[in-house]
A = this chain, B = another copy of it.
Amino acid sequence: MAFSERIARLKGSLIREILAAAQRPEVMSFAGGLPAEPMLPKVDWSAMPTSVSQYGMSEGEPELRELIAADARKLGIDCDASQVLVTCGSQQALDLATKLFVDPGTQVLVESPTYLAALQSFQLFGADCLEIPQEADGPNIDSLRALLERSTPAFAYLIPTFQNPSAVRYSDAKRDAVAALLDEFGVTLIEDEPYRELVYDDQQPTSITSRLRKTSWIYTGTVSKTLLPGLRVGYLICSKELYPYLLRLKQAADLHTNRVGQWQAAQWLGTEKFQQHLVELRSFYRERRDTMQSVLEEHFGDLADWEIPQGGLFFWLKLKQPFDTRTVMQKALDVDVAFMPGEAFFIDPEKNPGYMRLNFSHVPPERLDEGVRRLAQVIRDGQSCALA
């Protein structure tokens, strides 16, 4: 039996494997980007019409597409509902974009580090991923220009708002500079914004997409972080010339997204009720972040450096004495703690030892201190072994 050549590049998803291991209720998981259970809103299904049960359109539910487009216009993205494609989570938007652009050897630009499930998707199709060096306020612009001058990437995949995993938010100036460079070199932008609404300060710079003048773009979002992940409703919005291709790729992938989840999402988007929910969510997560910050200071102060995230769901820790934290993942699970080794978010994990991504939304406060304490001990032991 012969598999396709892409299967040689097929990696397991470390996130999914850790999440599976973290299913045991006694495990304190800092691994996933899971919303806090108490903040999953109660939803009502009683008004759902029977017509939703029938096959639906590949594009998505017209009402939901209108709501998504209206939301995007508020972010400065010049678009209408005809540019919206509802997807099975924003992960599917990446699968479709990869199919559209990537052959074996196709160059694509990614942040370093970057979202590992995106990396997994691009690499499965044979992409040659080129790293954009990051700073605290976004990419190093000189490096990005140099990279664009010596390569011909099909697209740049960027997460400018509370980047996963680094929690970096691009500054206004860097957003402008990146948009100008992509326009200048005619490189398509894929802007991934799952965490946009989870912001804990007053700054809300507009999307890079809204700053483009001519190059093609795909903007992706999801209701998974703000409403219910189990609905599996994400979306992409794209410049008009890309839409017919992405739509056909969606048809070939799964015909259409589930309508039940789309209907529920449409009950929330754009409503006063949803705005109120977001306000509560931000306040709840801000508090969890602050608690996590105190607990980290206590247990990790001598072990790692980090910035306080202004949004999103993660702390990004850099160990003062770096070692490959993937080697202690199982040891952490042995003491009922799950975390994401940061190495997995780099194209070359071997060259980037000593990072950890820690979620602060999921573990309840009463177990937080114990969880972080145990994790610190696992890291301390790991460091001793690595130095020995």
Q: Show the binding face of A for B, using Cβ within 8 Å.
A: 1-7, 10-13, 16, 19-20, 23, 32, 34-35, 37, 40, 42-43, 45-46, 48, 50-58, 87-89, 91-92, 95, 99-103, 106, 117, 120-121, 124-125, 154, 186, 188, 216, 224, 228-233, 245, 248-249, 251-261, 264
Contacts and interface: CB of A to CB of B under 8 A. Distances in A.
A5 B106 CA distance: 11
A154 B2 contact: yes
B53 A254 contact: no
Given A251-B16, A260-B261, A4 B103 contact: yes
Given A7-B100, A224-B55, A230-B52, A254 B91 contact: yes
Given A19-B55, A20-B57, A43-B53, A13 B251 contact: yes
Q: How many copies does the complex hold?
A: 2
A125 B2 CA distance: 15
B101 A3 contact: yes
B101 A4 contact: yes
Contacts of A249: 10, 124
Given A13-B251, A121-B252, A252-B13, A245 B54 contact: no
Contacts of A229: 53-56
Contacts of A120: 251-252
Contact of A53 (B103, B125, B230, B257): B230
Q: What are the 6 closest A-B residue pairs judged by CB atoms, nearest first?
A: A45-B45, A232-B258, A230-B259, A53-B228, A88-B254, A55-B229
Interface core residue of A102, A253, A257 (most chain B CB under 10 Å): A253
A252 B92 CA distance: 8
A10 B264 CA distance: 32
A102 B16 contact: no
B53 A100 contact: no
Nearest to A102: B4
A231 B260 contact: yes
Given A10-B248, A258-B261, 17 more contacts: A4-B102, A6-B103, A7-B100, A10-B252, A13-B248, A13-B252, A16-B255, A40-B54, A53-B230, A89-B254, A117-B252, A230-B258, A230-B259, A232-B254, A232-B255, A258-B258, A260-B264
